[in-house]
Amino acid sequence: MENQLTARRSGRIHVRMPVTLCGDSESQSNEHTASTVDFSNNGVRVCAKTGLVPGQAVAIATNSEQRVTLAGHVVWIGPVGTRLEGQAGIEFLKPVTLPA
């Protein structure tokens, strides 16, 4: 497990900011408020009080004047009863370039 946590494709930038998750589940299409935990060129970790499901398509939209929307899919969700509960990892469909 340790190798999985340390073997990252790209570095992380820890940043908390509000975002909107736009996604659909089998039952409904919806938007949810969330906040980021960290970003990488390949994805983002979010805190969200919504039932995300691995494999689910989502879009992450920044809540700023220059709104940016990135398409992705849920890769993992934090197990109930752990420190990752309420968090999810979202992989971008196309890698992005983060500012240096």
pLDDT digits (tens, 9 = 90+) for 39-50: 999 999 999 988
DSSP character at residue 40: -
Query: Both ends of the chain: CA-CA distance in Å?
Result: 30
- The SS3 assignment for 85 reads coil
- Side chain identity at 92, as an amino acid letter? F
Evaluate the CA torsion angle 42, 83, 36, 31 in order and state its sign. Answer: positive
* Domain boundaries defined on the chain: 2-92
Q: Is residue 29 scored above 80 in pLDDT? A: no
Does the domain at 2-92 match CATH 2.20.28.10? Answer given as no
Instruction: Quote the pTM value.
Output: 0.80
- The SS3 assignment for 42 reads coil
pLDDT digits (tens, 9 = 90+) for 61-72: 988 888 889 999
Burial class (CB in 10 A: 0-12, 13-18, 19+), 88: buried
- Side chain identity at 44, as an amino acid letter? V
